[in-house]
Amino acid sequence: MDHHETQSFDPLRRKMLATAALGVAVAPLAMVRSAHAAAAPSTAVPLARRAQAISFATLKRIRAGLLDVEYAEAGPGNGPPVILLHGWPYDIYSYVEVAPLLAKHGYRVIVPFLRGYGGTQFVSGDTLRNGQPSALAEDVVQFMDALRIRTAVLGGFDWGARSADIVAALWPERVKALVSVSGYLIGSQAAGQVPLSPEAELQWWYQFYFATERGRAGYEKNRHDFAKLIWKLASPKWNFDDATFDRSAASFANADHVDIVVHNYRWRLGLAQGEAKYDALESRLAQSPSIRVPTITMEGDANGAPHPQPDAYAKRFTGKYEHRLVTGGIGHNLPQEDPHAFAQAIIDADRL
C-alpha cells in the first residue's frame, strides 16, 4: 500500500465458475470519459448484489529473468497486450473482473503474481529477496521479454502502479499507454528520509512496524489478519466478504512473501541495502523522471491509504494525459472495487 514518498507524504489453482457469472463480468462497459480532474461516477455493483465472482480458468508459468513467474491470461493470444500489476497486500484477483471485460474487447490480458506472491518463485535460492522498486520494475521488463511482448499497455495500483510508472519512465518504448491508480509513485531513499506531517506519518504505521524485528515476526505470524486489516483501512467503504479476501490471502503463503515486503519498506527508509546492479536505475528514479507515454491516472473518492493529490503529480506526465476521480465510495483497490471504470480507463488510455 503506497503513495509517492515526496508528497505530504502454494500456487493457486481455480476453475472457471458458473457461466452466469461470466455474463456479469463481460457486461457492456459504462463509458467513463472525463477531462483532467473531472469526476467519474462509479459503476461498481455492491458485493451483496453481485453474481458469484468468476475466477481465472487456468494459470501459466514462464521463466523470466530471476523468476519463474505464475500468471493469468485472458483474451485472444494475438490481441494487443495489456499487463496488469497488483500491489501489497493484494494479488492477481484484483483484476479477476477487469480481465474478461478487456478480453471481450479483443485485448490479450496478462496478470502476473509479483515476486513474493502466489506461485511466482525465484530460480535460485541464493538470490537476494529484494523488494526495492527498480528490481520489481525490471521484473516487468523481463517478463515482457520472456513473453516476446515488445510493447504493452500497463495498468496498476499500489506497488503495481509504481512498477508501471517506473517502466513507463525508464523504458518508454515498451509502454504503449499507462493507467496508474494514485498517479506518480516514483520515489527514492532520499525522499524517504524527509519527515512528513504527524497525520501523514500516522498513516505509515505499518512501515515503521516492519522496520523492527518485532514487526517482521508479527507479520510472519499474522499475515492473514494483518492484510485483512490493511484492506479495511485502505477501502473503508468496500464491503468485501471473507471468501473474496481469503482467495487473495492464499497468495501470501509464498515462502518469499515476508522477505520481499519487509525489505521493500526497510529499503525505502534506508534501513536495508539494495543491490549494486540497480544503483544506476535508482539514481535515475531519484531525479523524478517525467512520464511521456499516454496516461490516465485514477483515484477513488474513498481511498483510505496514503496517496498524493492529483495536482501534486500532474506535471510529471508530459504526454497525453487525463485524471479521473471515481466516486461512489471507491477505495484503494480500485480495479476490484470498480472493474468497469478501470477497464474503461485501459481502453481509453490505449486510444489517447
Q: Which region among 53-67, 106-120, 225-239 has the lowest average model confidence (pLDDT)?
A: 53-67
Residue in 312, 231, 315, 227 with CA at minimum distance from that of residue 4 = 312
Q: What is the pLDDT of residues 281-337, one digit of tens each?
A: 999 999 999 999 999 999 999 999 989 899 999 999 999 999 999 999 999 999 999
* pLDDT greater than 80 at residue 23: no
CA dihedral 165, 78, 349, 99 (to 10 degrees): -80
Q: What is the pLDDT of residues 173-228, one digit of tens each?
A: 999 999 999 999 999 888 888 888 998 899 999 999 999 999 999 999 999 999 99
What φ, ψ does residue 162 adopt, rounded to 5°?
A: -60, -45
pLDDT band at residue 57 using 50, 70 and 90 as cut-offs = confident
Distance CA 241, CA 218 (A): 24
Distance CA 201, CA 210 (A): 14
* pLDDT greater than 90 at residue 28: no
Q: What is the pLDDT of residues 96-150, one digit of tens each?
A: 999 999 999 999 999 999 999 999 999 999 999 999 999 999 999 999 999 999 9
Residue in 295, 293, 327, 309 with CA at minimum distance from that of residue 30 = 327
* pLDDT greater than 80 at residue 36: no
Strand partners, 179: 155, 296
User: Taking the CA of residue 328 as centre, how many other CA atoms within 13 Å lie in the half-sphere pointing to its CB?
Assistant: 15
Amino acid at 212: T
pLDDT at 16: 34
